[in-house]
Each structure stands twice: as C-alpha cells, then as structure tokens.
Amino acid sequence: MRQDYSTYTDEEVFLLVKKGDNDAFGEIFRRFWQELLDAAYRRVKVQETAMEMVQSLLVNLYIKRDKIVLSSSLRNYLHISLKNKVLNAIRAEVVRNGYQQHALAERNVYQPDAATALQLKELQEQIDASCAEMPEKCREVFYLSRKEHLSYQHIAQRLGISVNTVEKHMVKALKILRSRLKEYNFTLFWLLVIVLLGWEIFSKF
C-alpha cells in the first residue's frame, strides 16, 4: 500500500527521496509536473520542448538526489533549475543562429573558381549516389534537410519522430557520406559539404 504523503511538506518528501523512497519521488512528480510544465511552456511556447525540459529536470533531480542540498524550498530549487535550463537553451539557439548567419554571409561572398566548381559538381554526383544507398528513413531525413531546408524541429513534426531521432539520422547520413567520399581530404570534404548542404548539418556532426 502506497504511503500517504498528503501531510508531508515538499522538503520532507524530498528527504524521503534521498533515502531511496521511489514512491516519494512519484509524489514530487505529481505535485510539480503540471506546474513546471506550465512555467516552461510560457517561456518556450513549444509543448514538446517544454515537456522534454521538465522531464529532464525531474529525472536529474532523482539521479542527483544524494548531492542536492536545498538552501530554500524545493519549489524554489525546481523553478530556478528550470529557468537555467531555459536560459541555456536560449544561449544555444543564439549561438546556432550566429553560426547560420555567418555561414550565409560567407556563402554570399563565396565565388568558386573553375576547378572548385568542377569538384563541387563531382561531389554533388557522389553525394546523390551515396544517398541512394542510405536506409530509407535516413535518406528521407537527409533530403528534407538538404532540399527543403527544414529545421530539425520541422522534420521531426513532418515525420512524426523526435528531434533526437532526426539528429541521429543526420549523423548516420554524414558517416555514410564520409565513408563513400574517402578520396577527398578532410578539410576539403567539409568545406564542400558546407557549401552544398549548409552549416547546420556540419555543426551537428
């Protein structure tokens, strides 16, 4: 029979979690899930992203329970941790967008000479041949990113998969490309990939 925690404060329940009481962790989950989800959604405006943040936050609370020392209330600790997660996500997005803006600027001034143009054409043909050998879902993700220029979030929504799965397919696609294009030296290969496919793909590898 599950213990009744209704008379326990949040901090008392967390002390039980630290002692290994899994039911107590379930109580914390029930008390704070919706509250934290609402707070996350107000900041990120994407339900799936908000859910992932809160789930990660609560899982980390359990994993690190032995090391966590509350200096105030558990509620305050959770909301500060959530705020930090959101800020970190925003910083990561700013950095990513900065890379994209830099790549666009570079591509606007980049004019390949005849020799490089020929290499680009050859690489394009080999990329097309390599794509034909990719697993179906991997190839589909790669094409949506490359030809339709969709973000990982939009690809995930289009295919009904997670963003993490999209990233795994893209990494797999690039590994296949590198394996097929061994004759290109490493620096030249990535330069041409950025020109043909964009900085976002390179930055995820």
Q: What digits encode the pLDDT tens for the residues 63-104?
A: 899 999 998 899 999 999 999 888 887 776 655 555 455 444
Check residue 147 and report its DSSP letter: T
3-state secondary structure 1-26: CCCCCCCCCHHHHHHHHHCCCHHHHH
More confident residue, 147 or 142: 142
The domains spanning 10-101 and 110-203 adopt the same CATH topology: no
8: left (phi over 0), alpha (psi -120 to 50) or beta: beta
pLDDT at residue 119, as a whole number: 60
Average pLDDT over residues 124-132: 77
In contact, 165 and 157? CB cutoff 8 Å: no
110-203 CATH, one of 3.30.70.260, 1.10.10.10, 1.50.10.20, 1.10.510.10: 1.10.10.10
Share of the chain above pLDDT 90, in %: 25
Task: Tell the CATH topology of 10-101.
Answer: Rna Polymerase Sigma Factor; Chain: A (1.10.1740)
In contact, 172 and 140? CB cutoff 8 Å: no
The residue ranges of every structural domain in the chain are 10-101, 110-203
pLDDT band at residue 205, thresholds of 50, 70 and 90?
Answer: very low
3-state secondary structure 171-200: HHHHHHHHHHCCCCCHHHHHHHHHHHHCHH
> What is the spatial distance between Cα 16 and Cα 22, in angstroms, rounded to a whole number?
8
What are the residues whose beta carbons fall under 8 Å from the beta carbon of 79, sequence distance 6 or more?
A: 36, 39
